[in-house]
């Protein structure tokens, strides 16, 4: 079984982003920022009670000053995660009351 949080944190921290958080803090001090959490981590067992495969869903949100900046970060994240077996399943712009750009995404991984 893989534990994805440390891997995702390391991967996202390696991108050109000011801050990476697991879950959203009450105040995001510096932009751009990325928040993430594991929405689902399912292990599917074989009849021999071994791990047959594991499926993960990671929710990653991007916070930036402009939509151009958040879009560039999205492209970087999608490319890096795809190279590691994660596929983009969902992406949406979210209205933010502070006027910043917020993109919410969902990535799936099956091993």
Helices (H), strands (E): how many in the chain? 2, 5
Please report how many Cα atoms fall inside a 13 Å half-sphere around the Cα of residue 38, on the Cβ side: 14
Cα of 1 vs its chain's centroid, Å: 19
Domain that holds residue 9: 4-110
4-24 pLDDT, tens digit each: 888 899 889 988 787 999 988
* Report field, pTM of the whole predicted structure over 0.85: yes
Nearest alpha carbon to residue 103 among 71, 75, 62: 62
CA–CA distance, 55 with 51 (Å, rounded to integer): 11
- C-beta of residue 42 within 8 angstroms of C-beta of residue 57: no
- CATH number for the domain that contains residue 30: 3.30.2000.10
Question: How many domains does the chain fold into?
Answer: 1
Percent of all residues in the chain with a pLDDT value above 90, rounded to a whole number = 55
């Amino acid at each position: 079984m893989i534990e994805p949080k440390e891997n995702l944190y390391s991967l996202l921290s390696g991108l050109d982003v000011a801050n990476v958080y697991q879950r959203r803090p009450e105040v995001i001090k510096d932009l751009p920022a990325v928040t993430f959490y594991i929405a689902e981590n399912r292990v599917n067992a074989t009849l021999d009670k071994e791990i047959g495969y594991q499926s993960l869903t990671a929710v990653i949100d991007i916070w930036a000053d402009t939509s151009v900046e958040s879009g560039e970060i999205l492209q970087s994240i999608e490319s890096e995660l795809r190279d590691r077996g994660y596929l983009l399943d969902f992406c949406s712009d979210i209205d933010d009351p502070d006027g910043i750009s917020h993109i919410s995404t969902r990535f799936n991984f099956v091993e």
